Amino acid sequence: MFDKGQRPSETMAGGGFSLPKARPSGPPYFSRNQVAKALHQVAVLLELQGANVFRVRSYQNASRMLGSLTEDLGELVATGRLLEMKGIGKGLGSALTQVIAEGRWPSDWIELHASTPEGMIEMLGIPGLGPKRIKLMNQELGVDSVASLKEAAEAGKIAPMKGFGAKSQARMLDGIELLARFRARRRLDVGLMYGEAFETRVAQIDGVIKAQLAGSARRRKETIGDLDLVVAVEHEHHDAVATAILSLPGIADVKGAGDSKISLILDTSVFEEGFTVGHIDPNVLDAIGGEDYEQLESGGTIDAQVRLVTPQVFPFTLAYFTGSKEHNIAMRQRAIDRGLRLNEFGLIPEVKAGELKGMAAAKFSLDAIDEQSIYRHLDLEWVTPELREDTGEIVAAEQSALPQLIQTSEIKGAWHNHTTLSDGEASLEQMAETARKMGWNWLGIADHSPTLQVANGASAEDLLAQGETIKQYNATWADEGVDFRLFHGVESDILPGGKLDHPDEVLDTLDYTVASVHAISKWRARDEIENTEELIRCIDHPATTVLGHPTGRILQGRDGYEVDLFAVLEHMAEHNDEGRLKAVELNASPYRLDLDWRLCKHAKGLGVPVIINPDAHSLRGLADISYGVMAARKGWLEANDVLNTLTAEQLLAMI
């Protein structure tokens, strides 16, 4: 169906170095972005091969120019206007004409791609490392891959090179580690962004009846290995749809395409609206690569597996590739107990299937118009994808005892948010206005405390003044009959001995205190017993209402500190039993999702209330609540388990 022999995936660092396939629809055979990107890559490859700087620059300029054009490419070529453009020489002009009008890449570009060692392209993915220095290290040390670079850096061979030094050597080693972590899995928010953009593009192809994301993305895992997309297509449209998928924008490479399975690598050109990472809390940014993070992310890729099936088979394939593997195994066992064979093709009575395999056996499958029908055949209620982790959902589905999972529409507010008083981007007024627009009835402000100087922690004086402002707003809203109020809190650093960061008389003026660990390196250097004791001491402080981001983990960045959260939650449960509110935060930032969903069910069992907090540092940050809700759902939480569903009056009565 298409030519094999593309580069293997290991070469994909740096955002997919390959020349895309021409789209089948006729000229212009490539989009403006595709051509601009190809030109940019030629410039980089030339630089890697030590080409003349003027030549490199002419490709870079042409790339930039095409990238910023608004005119139609086909027309530019047809009218000959392309050849007249400043900065596009004769040679490049005719090459581009061939590309756009005939769909053929120039042979010297193809040759350039083929002759550059894959390892050198791979090295481009290391944050902060460009073609010039890669070329130098290749010449002087023979470094030609990430692995050989790592070896050279560890042996101290980079530092003595002119223009490099010990600092840059250490930075390279950090970058290599970051890249490896980054390539293995992606955060849920990033994975969903890619997945939804790709799903939308595939769904719009003629002949596609339905395209749906499966796998860990559908299950809302906190990180995603690869995307799995299941596509319903009638048999006669199968080939045309497969071809159309292969020429979609955003496909950096094709790893393989069989009869019903296509394996791809997507890059950021899958996004119609471009791609930005948005505002990131500096504490978080530091853990995920600092200034290099944006480069890593915009040069990032994600693998995707597409499965094309007929509409009759679709529900079975969707269920199978949604997983989890553990859930599938339990489901398959349940089928076996009923004399049925469950797989990605169907739910097939063994007596009929006999020796038959695969699709041949699937002819005898029980019908299923949707996933619900599959579960019904196995005497189960439909299990929402988030719960499919084999942690009790099948028994619950059998007994009609599945939880009524919390929904974003039930959220009335959140407590842990920042304003310009500490390190937030938006003012108190802007935050309140946005919360109201989101349909919330209350919003809590919890700016950082003085010890956290890097986050511009607010002094007691400023905090008290903020409290006065909040009182005035609340009074005004009450007068006007507006159903909205602000709660005033603080995010207090947890100081040595489990102490809080303000005197009691200041804390007494607040509605609540979110106590969080920020001295991460110190906490990570200590053992579990000490950390657990320290947290428990802090929870015992009468002013502590919420334990903020309980482990301090940053997904794809750093592990949390060692702590026995079971013990901490049990201790919190005792307080709650005696009528003192001690809630555990589920930090909704997709960089954190801390409390981990695996522990939510435990908190619920103990009766420790959970509060989902966006920890917003900007207006846009408030929307992160949705990731927190995803994690809460995955952790079996219902409206009753979560403080965010209470009215302001109910909350006031508790504090």
Determine, following the binding rule CB under 6 A, whether residue 437 of this chain makes contact with ligand DGT. no
612-631 residues near Zn ion, rule: CB under 5 A: 615
Could you tell me which residues come within 8 angstroms of residue 436 by beta carbon, excluding any fewer than 6 positions away?
Answer: 484
Q: Which residues bind Ca ion (CB under 5 A)?
A: 215-216, 226, 228, 305
CA dist 4 and 253 (Å) reads 11
Determine contact, residues 146/153, Cβ cutoff 8 Å.
no
CB of 216 to Ca ion, least distance (A): 5
Instruction: Tell whether residue 215 is a contact of ligand DGT (CB under 6 A).
Output: yes
| Cβ-based nearer residue to ligand DGT, 224 or 554 | 224
The answer to whether 225 contacts ligand DGT (rule: CB under 6 A) is: yes
Question: What is the Cα–Cα distance from 96 to 227, expressed in whole angstroms?
Answer: 34
CB-wise, 226 or 493, nearer to ligand DGT?
226
Which residue lies nearer to Ca ion by CB, 218 or 604?
Answer: 218
Pairing of strands 347-349, 340-342: antiparallel
Residue 325 interacts with which of Zn ion, Ca ion, ligand DGT, none, CB < 5 to 8 Å by class:
ligand DGT
- Could you tell me which residues are beta bridge partners of residue 445? 488
* Nearest position to ligand DGT, beta carbon: 323
> Omega before 28 cis (within 30°)?
yes
630, 188 in Cβ contact below 8 A? Answer: yes
By CB under 5 A, how many residues form the interface with Zn ion?
2
Q: 425: burial class by Cβ within 10 Å (0-12, 13-18, 19+)? A: middle
Residue 47 touches which of Zn ion, ligand DGT, Ca ion, none (Cβ within 5-8 Å per kind) = none
Binding segment for ligand DGT among 132-140, 225-233, 469-477, 503-511 (CB under 6 A)?
225-233
- Contact status: 391 vs ligand DGT (CB under 6 A): no
Question: CB 615 → Zn ion: shortest distance, Å?
Answer: 4
DSSP state of 547: E
The residues near 586 (Cβ < 8 Å, ≥ 6 apart) are 593, 594, 595, 600, 610, 611, 612, 613, 628, 631, 632, 635
Question: Which among Ca ion, ligand DGT, Zn ion, none contacts residue 329 (Cβ within 5 to 8 A by kind)?
Answer: ligand DGT
Q: Which is nearer to Ca ion, 201 or 221 (CB)?
A: 221
Binding flags for Zn ion, 468-497, as an x/- string (CB under 5 A): -----------------------x------
Q: Which option in ligand DGT, Zn ion, Ca ion, none does residue 491 bind, with CB closer than 5 to 8 A by kind? A: Zn ion
Would you mind telling me the total number of residues written for the chain in this entry?
A: 655
Q: What are the beta bridge partners of residue 210?
A: 232
Residues 307-346 touching ligand DGT, rule: CB under 6 A, are 320-321, 323-325, 328-329
β-pair partners for 256? 263
- Least separation in angstroms between residue 227's CB and Ca ion is 6
Spatial distance between the Cα atoms of 467 and 472, rounded to a whole number of angstroms: 9
Least distance from Zn ion to the Cβ atom of residue 416, Å: 6
Taking the C-alpha atoms of residue 509 and residue 468, their distance in angstroms, rounded to an integer, is 10
CA separation for the pair 648, 652 (Å, rounded): 6
DSSP string, 242-311: HHHHHTSTTEEEEEEE-SSEEEEEEEGGG-TT--------HHHHHHTTGGGHHHHHHT-EEEEEEEEE-T
Residues 49-78 that bind Zn ion (CB under 5 A): none
When the beta carbons of 491 and 624 are compared against Zn ion, the nearer one is 491
Taking CB within 5 to 8 Å according to partner kind, which of Ca ion, ligand DGT, Zn ion, none is near residue 624? none
Q: Which residue is nearest to Ca ion (CB)?
A: 215
Please say which residue, 260 or 328, places its beta carbon nearer to ligand DGT. Answer: 328
Nearer to ligand DGT, 121 or 197 (CB): 197
CA–CA–CA angle 492, 494, 499 (5° rounding): 100
Is residue 226 near ligand DGT by the rule CB under 6 A? yes
- Residue 213 phi, psi (nearest 5): -70, 135
Minimum CB distance to ligand DGT, residue 222 (Å): 10
Count the site residues for ligand DGT by CB under 6 A: 14
Q: Which residues bind ligand DGT (CB under 6 A)?
A: 215-216, 221, 224-226, 228, 320-321, 323-325, 328-329
Q: Which residues bind Zn ion (CB under 5 A)?
A: 491, 615
